[in-house]
Amino acid sequence: GENVEQHPSTLSVQEGDSAVIKCTYSDSASNYFPWYKQELGKRPQLIIDIRSNVGEKKDQRIAVTLNKTAKHFSLHITETQPEDSAVYFCAATPGRGNTGKLIFGQGTTLQVKP
């Protein structure tokens, strides 16, 4: 079945450094790839997304890249700050179009040390 693998499961960086989280997906027809951030005790919230017709998208300190051929996509956070500490989830929509179904990765706990 459809699957999304996310690595690493934990990531610790020094404030100001960059952080990269990587995901691979199994369904070559997937066309939408969001990233969610979940702070401790809170609900997941969308931080950035990318569609399959785009290779890269940037929003201030965060960026997402997509390699459709290799079926992987990555989240890049530059100039990390303590408030970036959270659990990050990647996800992919299986199949074509929007059906409401979303497959999430296992999550990455990012710790930014001051």
Partner 1 sequence: EAQVTQNPRYLITVTGKKLTVTCSQNMNHEYMSWYRQDPGLGLRQIYYSMNVEVTDKGDVPEGYKVSRKEKRNFPLILESPSPNQTSLYFCASSSTSENIQYFGAGTRLSVL
Identity of the residue, 15 or 51, whose beta carbon is nearer to partner 1 in the bound complex: 51
Minimum CB–partner distance for residue 29 and partner 1 (Å): 14
Q: Which of residues 65-94 bind partner 1 (CB under 8 A)?
A: 89, 91, 93
3-state secondary structure the chain: CCCEEEECCEEEEECCCCEEEEEEECCCCCCEEEEEEECCCCCCEEEEEEECCCCEEEECCEEEEEECCCCEEEEEECCCCHHHCEEEEEEECCCCCCCCCCEECCCEEEEEEC
Q: Which of residues 20-39 bind partner 1 (CB under 8 A)?
A: 32, 34, 36
Identity of the residue, 78 or 103, whose beta carbon is nearer to partner 1 in the bound complex: 103
Q: Which of 53, 70, 99, 114 binds partner 1 (CB under 8 A)?
A: 99
